[in-house]
Amino acid sequence: MRVERLNITEWDDALPSDGFEVFHRPAALAAIDRHAPGELHLYGGFKGQQAIALLPIVVRNGPLGTVAMSPPPGMAIPRLGPIVMPTSPKRRKQEKVNREFTETVLDRIRTDYTGRLAQVGFDSPMAERVGEHLRDRGQTARTVTTKLRYPDFSIRTRSASLAVGTDEGTRIGELACALLDRALRDRPGPLRLVGVGVSGLAEHAQLSLGGV
């Protein structure tokens, strides 16, 4: 399967005559692009010149990672997601096409945003504010946890612990990005919500200097 990013005209040309939601129509997607909290990407999966899958997805590059959403939250869109048009009518074939297409799209998004993740995720103001909050309270954190909520409201969490606690925003952001990427490899798909937290808090150790 060949996966390409499409413009709105190419999307309209590839759209089937039926079997999709009203929000898959170009006019609705244009409205989503104007108002969604992120950047609308349109992807098509092709076998030869024939489109066999389509997916509109809103990508939001946040301080601690990239989130892919279809539909985007807060817009009262009940359903969006992929349109699958396999050459075979068998359900197993449709599920295989859907899985391969979605995984390829998510891999493409992660590749496209690698540079931005390095810039925004590892040295972001938000991650630095987490570090500042810890420093203000005289604490360090040993564990960083990400929580992902999928469209079916299932939740996946991933955690990583350090041998020694940290209050550095750069280190917290780096761990959070790695955890998000790991979670999306384990279960690719659009997300409704992503959360990041720290735990394993401890007070800073104070050094006592004896008299000389």
* pLDDT over threshold 70, residue 207: no
The reply to whether 9 falls in a domain is yes
pLDDT tens-digit map of 135-188: 888 899 999 888 887 777 788 888 999 888 888 877 887 787 778 777 777 877
Q: What is the mean pLDDT of residues 104-113?
A: 72
Judge whether 54 and 68 are in contact, CB under 8 Å: no
pLDDT at 11: 94
CATH number reported for the structural domain that contains residue 150 in this entry: 3.30.1490.100
Residues 138, 87, single domain; the answer is no
Higher pLDDT, 56 or 98: 56
77 in the same domain as 140 = no
The C-alpha angle with vertex 151 and arms to 145 and 156, in degrees rounded to 5, equals 25
Q: Are 176 and 137 in contact (CB under 8 A)?
A: no
Q: Reduced to 3 states, what is the DSSP secondary structure of residue 11?
A: helix
* Same domain, yes or no: 180 and 84: no
Q: What CATH number should be reported for the domain holding residue 101?
A: 3.40.630
Q: Are residues 58 and 150 in the same domain?
A: no
> Based on the domain organization, do 41 and 95 belong to the same domain?
yes
pTM here is: 0.54
Strand order in the sheet with 139-149: 155-166, 139-149, 193-203
* Domain, as residue range, for 80: 2-112
pLDDT bin (cut points 50, 70, 90) of residue 27 is very high
DSSP string, 65-129: EEEEESSPTTS-------EE--SS--HHHHHHHHHHHHHHHHHHHHHHTHHHIIIIITS-HHHHH
User: Is the same domain home to 17 and 107?
Assistant: yes
Domain match, 57 and 135 both: no
Residue 206: is its pLDDT beyond 70? no
| Distance between CA atoms of residues 176 and 69, nearest Å | 19
Closest C-alpha to 71, from 104, 24, 18:
24
Please report whether residue 210 resides in a domain: no
Answer yes or no: do 73 and 22 share one domain: yes
- In this structure, the answer to whether residues 105 and 138 fall within a common structural domain is no
- Count of domains for the chain: 2
Distances (CA, A) of 76 to 23, 81, 157, 208: 11, 14, 26, 59
Nearest alpha carbon to residue 52 among 1, 108, 105, 109: 1
Same domain, 127 and 54: no
- pLDDT higher than threshold 80 for residue 58: yes
